[in-house]
Amino acid sequence: MERVRLVQFSDLHLGAGLGGGKLALPPAKAEKRRTEQRQCLTRLAAHVRDTRPAALLIPGDLFDTGEPDVDDLNFAINTINSVAPVPVFIAPGNHDGYAPSSCYNPHSALYQNRGSGPKWGSHVRIFTAERFETLPVPGHPAVTVTGAAFHRHMPEGTRPLADLPRAPQTGIRILLFHGSLQGYRRAGADNEVLPFNTAELDKAGYSYAAVGHYHRGGPIVAERGRLLGAYAGAPFALSVADDGAGYWLDLELAPGEPVKDAALHPHRCDDRAVVRIEMDLTGLTDNAALGQRLDELLAAAKATPRDLVHVALRGRIARGIRFDPAAALGERFFHVSADDTRVEPDYAVDLDAQDAAEPGLAATCEELFVWRMRQLYRQAKDDAERARIKEALFYGLDALTLGEVHLR
């Protein structure tokens, strides 16, 4: 039997707000990214038309919500319809989960009220049930797709893959769903959805699981080393958590043959990457040293001018120094954002010191301020109040030594 080629694409999150979050894209850049996000789907469709795989597999979160705006919905339907007659299988995810009001229900008001808007083509099969069901792949009698839709978070302890229908006995048996592999090494902080482990997946007996949800793609491997499936990851980087995103997956399967790593081909989709850098400011005492360290980290991360750079700062910043990575890098990158909430100013003040005597007449304003804050700190009722006093101390010292207060 001949090898079968498939394309796996998920987690585009079409319609997601791109302006907020830690990336803090200004409106013009957010708009540009919205255009580029749509281009991801356009590129995918062109690739599917060119390469004619047996099927396009979409395991969830194509949209950021099950009720996207009409422009996004019409755009997605038109683009996905353009790959016909290549069969398309969609298993809705936790963001675009199936509900009667969803864009995946042709009877929903959202779908119906678009008047002459495009309809999902007959080559598009959408799994709408929460229970797994098996569909044939038109034109490829040896291939089946078993899929389910996300409807709701399941009660704790539910193991959806533990009581899966038995896999068809022969041919290439694809499993398609949106779920959280426990222990996935490239997991993000994503909410848990349809939890499963490799033992359950292995036991279910499918040839390959095309799974969506985690935005960083990677193989799903059984304990004994057998490849069970993969996450394609998000084709487009949405947020600072999406470093490593930006791909879809081309895959090749043959019946009865174990899938090899080499049969998974990640295909770059997003021209830009989110490059997240951790920078410790401790011991860097002037802006030249800070700038040089940032340059080294960017070079090590192989950041290119097209990228979105996010710098997570930590450690202690030298007294009298202000460091703003966005200002330091100017126009060198598409966008630069920074998070300095974990930075502490390097003021050598020990608030717990018990022995400090009241400052004399010759004391500086700063010495008096620190002495008074230390008193308040000792009288504080709880940790929350102590944390506030520490913050106030740093802000006060900023004002006294820098002549300005930079809100953290």
Task: Name the site residues for Mn ion (rule: CB under 5 A).
Answer: 61, 93-94, 213
Is the CB of 138 or the CB of 188 nearer to Mn ion?
Answer: 188
Residue type at position 252: E
Is the CB of 40 or the CB of 137 nearer to Mn ion?
Answer: 40
Query: Smallest distance from the beta carbon of 246 to Mn ion, in angstroms?
Result: 16
Query: Smallest distance from the beta carbon of 366 to Mn ion, in angstroms?
Result: 51
Is the CB of 94 or the CB of 198 nearer to Mn ion?
Answer: 94
Is the CB of 65 or the CB of 78 nearer to Mn ion?
Answer: 65
Is the CB of 173 or the CB of 213 nearer to Mn ion?
Answer: 213
Is the CB of 53 or the CB of 60 nearer to Mn ion?
Answer: 60
Taking CB atoms, the residue at the shortest distance from Mn ion is 213
Query: Smallest distance from the beta carbon of 14 to Mn ion, in angstroms?
Result: 13
Is the CB of 213 or the CB of 374 nearer to Mn ion?
Answer: 213
Query: Smallest distance from the beta carbon of 94 to Mn ion, in angstroms?
Result: 5
Query: Smallest distance from the beta carbon of 121 to Mn ion, in angstroms?
Result: 25
Query: Smallest distance from the beta carbon of 60 to Mn ion, in angstroms?
Result: 6
Query: Smallest distance from the beta carbon of 224 to Mn ion, in angstroms?
Result: 28
